[in-house]
Structure 1
Amino acid sequence: MAWEVTRTVRVRLDVPDDRKSDLHATNDLFQHCANRTSEWAWRYPDEECVTSKSDAEDALYEDLREETNGLHANLVQKAIKRAIKDIDNCVDDLADGENTSQPEYDTFSIVYDKRAATYYRDKVSLATVSGRVECDYDSPENPEGTPHGDYLLNEDYSFSTSTVHYDSEVDEFYLHAVMEQELDVDSPEKAEDSNVLGVDCNVDDHIGVTSTGAFIGNADYLNHQRREFEKRRASLQQTGTRSSHLTFQRIGDRFGRWSEDYLHQCSKAIVEEAHRHGCTHIALENLEQIRERISDEKKFQQWAFNALQTMVEYKAEEYGIIVETVKPQYTSQQCSKCGCTLEENRDGQHFECLDCSYTANADYNAAKNVARKLAFKLQQGQKSPAGGAFCQYALQSGIMTVSDTSVSSDTPVSG
């Protein structure tokens, strides 16, 4: 009996200068196909949205092939699949009573499987609108102990469907290489099993608290610095001189760099905590749900949450750690020890279960619940014929194994 282990490695691509425009043109057409599919499949609120990939391909494939003239057929299919999958997720959210909107695509992200890309251990050949382009990998001189050595160069792992991204700030292309290995569930290789670090993100107190009990960053301090910047900016705007205008620009740039650097430090700490505990996954709360509890300084806090999650994602990829999101409903009200869920369990930063009397920092308690949600999701979705019984989440002292979807707490349920 076997199940699949998946790892993602972020690899910088050495793209020939005269072929970079081909990748950009390919991405434009790929995103066009995704947007056209999204527009066609999104019928809410008048009708039911289309969530069938085969129906979408039947309706759109031939037209998209003509509209994109030169885009690889498999890339057209992958763009349709991406949009339909996102529509399907939106339909689930709507069914749960959540607000959502039609997916839109405007970033650089192209999905490549083995029909549109040929993967090697040192390079990749990618289909573009102007033929294939070969890109060497920028690997570390000594790959031992790095994700490149552990997965990319490891013959036990094979390449799966991956994505190509572009970082406009540094003008670099990256392959997010998905590496897969099939394991025997009866073997002792449980170090490869899923192990989740949960993170509870906040608009006040600590920026993030992990299921291992790490308290990271200071959201109050970040918001204080933002308010001080806004006061200074308002004062300079009132002055209205050329000198004040230049100062206004300088302090704006300075605060932007400072806040971004601060979030980089926080995201690095989160990923290092996951790496230190041998985690394969990091569980974060869904951004849409986070925004619902934001009040003051809404725009800035939304940016901060989005930036932190993005930073965690690409830093985690360097370690082969996967970042996924879960819905945070009731994570702050549920007892992580016995599973009792009551609004009265939480009083500010203090959590005390009215059923079993368990007490803890409220955000630490929530982080364990966030971790458990993803562990359940992974346990249910494993491809093992045995059902997959080795999903775990990391705690302050040890780990908790999820082997039964009826378990809703740190206390195992006895049969």
Structure 2
Amino acid sequence: MDDAPRRTIPIKLDVSEERRGDLHQTKSQFLHCANRTSEWAWRYDDYCVTSKSKAENSLYDELREETDLTANLVQKGIRRAIEAVDAGVEKLQQGEQTSQPEFDSWSVVYDKRSASFNDDHATLSTPNGRVTTEYVLPPEDEREDTPFGRYYESDDWDASSATLQYDEQDDTFYLHVTLKNPDYTVDRTERQEASHDDDGAENGVVLGVDLNVTGAFAVTSTGKFIGSADYLTHKRDQYEKRRARLQQTGTRSAHLTIQSIGSRFSDWSLDWLHNRANDLIAEAQATDVDGIIFENLDHIRENIANESKFQQWTYAKFVELVEYKVESTALFVDTVNPAYTSQRCSHCGFTHEDNRDDKEFACQDCGYEVNADYNAAKNIAKRYCGYIHRGQKSRGGWATSQLALESGTLNVNGEYTPSALRG
């Protein structure tokens, strides 16, 4: 099993006008392979096929005939669908409702056989030959403290695969490049030994995360706002209104439709949470932290007891997905009881209910003003660092800890280290 740590970094691409259509065509044919495979593998009346080799043996020739993709991209499309079918089967076995996976999001999966990753550009396979895509990068002297500089330009990290995505609103292509470092374990040990305190205690860095019912779904102590809780609630409300109208009809057809749209919404919600979990992990990796710290789920349930079971489920499922996804990385996940973290000033520590007014935080003592969720995220990380400082052992195995901020780290004694000075 390949357990080498991974980092995924997004790179904006500059694609010539005459070749942009080739990338869109690649996406259409790639998703055709995935959807055709999903249709073939999803069999309620028999059994769902979850074997990648069986799917390739049955569909490869057909899909090669139906598309102009290279062999590797056809295989990638088949395997992507089988992975989704396998996840669906697991849900069915657990008694959960689900339906045949459908692929409509703009994405194409590449590896080294269908793409090449160079210093300042990548070449990507398409039905009309390879397309050269230039990287849109900051000036060379400003890259050192960016994810591109720390990982992509490092000799220790090797680009192994990538997912091509397209932002329709900005009309922009992005390449999310996954890099592996098989020697990272040794490097990490050396780095920890070099960062021991005077008493020999190891030191780590954690990322605090505040989860929300309104506004941004997740806010980190580095100031990253991930997803929209309002949008998620809006989609849920749309589903509930449609279900209520169908329930009033009371026919068997309406009942079957309710089951169908419920299954589709469940799949959509899970996919949305998967993407937000990936966004959070990407932020953790980009800021080079060791752990991700959430509120204790029991405390979350108490805070949102009057909210829908769906919102309680989204919190629990999101944390579960992050815990699962970090298993293949060097990161860990832990929790704290965040009592009063929304009322406490992350700048001076003064705690009062008047400090917070919805999404605005203004300390009544020192005057510090900031987004309330960002303030809470910093307090969550600080609370964890305080636990470690007082003798609790972290999941990372260290006896001291710092919290990650937008431009550096802060330890429990209030000592600030800018990013440029971090190891």
- Taking structure 1 as the reference length, the TM-score comes to 0.58
For 1:65-106, what per-residue CA distance to the aligned partner results, in whole angstroms no more than 9, with x for missing partners?
0010x2111000000000000000000011111111111112
Counterpart-to-counterpart distance in 1, 2:169 and 2:224: 27
For 1:181-210, what per-residue CA distance to the aligned partner results, in whole angstroms no more than 9, with x for missing partners?
11364634469x99986xxxxxxxxxxxxx
1:6 paired residue number: 6
C-alpha contact (below 8 Å) 1:50/1:84 kept by paired residues: yes
1:63 paired residue number: 62
1:134 to 132, 135, 153: 132
1:397 paired residue number: 384
1:270 paired residue number: 220
1:159 paired residue number: 159
Higher mean C-alpha displacement, 312-321 vs 170-179: 312-321
Residue 121 of structure 1, CA deviation: 2.1
Instruction: Compute the RMSD of aligned alpha carbons.
Output: 4.4
Which SS does the other structure have where 2:177 is aligned?
A: strand
1:201 paired residue number: none
2:247 paired residue number: none
Q: 1:368 to 1:28 in 2, by over 3 A?
A: closer
For 1:151-200, what per-residue CA distance to the aligned partner results, in whole angstroms no more than 9, with x for missing partners?
11112100012110011111111000001111364634469x99986xxx
Q: 1:183 to 1:127 in 2, by over 3 A?
A: same
Q: 1:13 to 1:376 in 2, by over 3 A?
A: closer
The residue type equivalent to 2:181 in the other structure is Q
Residue 27 of structure 1, CA deviation: 0.9
Higher mean C-alpha displacement, 53-62 vs 117-126: 117-126
Q: 1:299 to 1:270 in 2, by over 3 A?
A: farther
Residue 150 of structure 1, CA deviation: 0.9
1:15 paired residue number: 15
Q: 1:89 to 1:145 in 2, by over 3 A?
A: same
Residue 108 of structure 1, CA deviation: 1.4
For 1:373-404, what per-residue CA distance to the aligned partner results, in whole angstroms no more than 9, with x for missing partners?
7446644x57xxxxx9x74536432374179x
Structure 2: tracts of 5 or more residues without a match: 196-202, 243-264, 288-295, 306-310, 337-382, 389-393, 398-423
Counterpart-to-counterpart distance in 2, 1:41 and 1:108: 22
Which SS does the other structure have where 1:176 is aligned?
A: strand
Q: Among the aligned pairs, what percent are the same residue?
A: 36
1:340 paired residue number: none
Q: 1:37 to 1:180 in 2, by over 3 A?
A: same
2:90 to 89, 92, 98: 92
The residue type equivalent to 2:170 in the other structure is V
1:105 paired residue number: 103
2:71 to 65, 70, 73: 73
The residue type equivalent to 1:401 in the other structure is R
C-alpha contact (below 8 Å) 2:277/2:318 kept by paired residues: no
1:229 paired residue number: none
Q: How does 1:110-189 map to 2 (within 5 A)?
A: 110-141=108-139, 142-183=142-183, 185=185, 187-189=189-191
Residue 320 of structure 1, CA deviation: 3.9
Residue 4 of structure 1, CA deviation: 1.2
Q: How does 1:5-404 map to 2 (within 5 A)?
A: 5-44=5-44, 46-68=45-67, 70-141=68-139, 142-183=142-183, 185=185, 187-189=189-191, 212=208, 215=210, 219=214, 262-263=215-216, 267=218, 269-270=219-220, 272=222, 298=240, 313-314=278-279, 317=282, 320=285, 332=297, 371=319, 374-375=322-323, 378-379=326-327, 391-393=332-334, 395=336, 396-398=383-385, 400-401=394-395
C-alpha contact (below 8 Å) 1:126/1:134 kept by paired residues: yes
C-alpha contact (below 8 Å) 2:121/2:132 kept by paired residues: yes
Residue 111 of structure 1, CA deviation: 0.5
The residue type equivalent to 2:159 in the other structure is F
1:359 paired residue number: none
C-alpha contact (below 8 Å) 2:274/2:321 kept by paired residues: no
Q: 1:309 to 1:174 in 2, by over 3 A?
A: same
Which SS does the other structure have where 1:4 is aligned?
A: coil
Counterpart-to-counterpart distance in 2, 1:170 and 1:128: 22
Counterpart-to-counterpart distance in 2, 1:194 and 1:102: 43
Q: 1:318 to 1:42 in 2, by over 3 A?
A: same
Q: 1:140 to 1:53 in 2, by over 3 A?
A: same
Q: 1:87 to 1:94 in 2, by over 3 A?
A: same
The residue type equivalent to 1:110 in the other structure is V
Residue 144 of structure 1, CA deviation: 1.7
Counterpart-to-counterpart distance in 1, 2:212 and 2:100: 34
Counterpart-to-counterpart distance in 1, 2:39 and 2:25: 21
Which SS does the other structure have where 1:107 is aligned?
A: coil
Counterpart-to-counterpart distance in 1, 2:126 and 2:395: 44
Structure 1: tracts of 5 or more residues without a match: 198-211, 220-261, 276-281, 285-289, 323-330, 337-345, 351-362, 383-387, 404-415
The residue type equivalent to 2:384 in the other structure is S
- Taking structure 2 as the reference length, the TM-score comes to 0.57
Counterpart-to-counterpart distance in 1, 2:321 and 2:279: 22
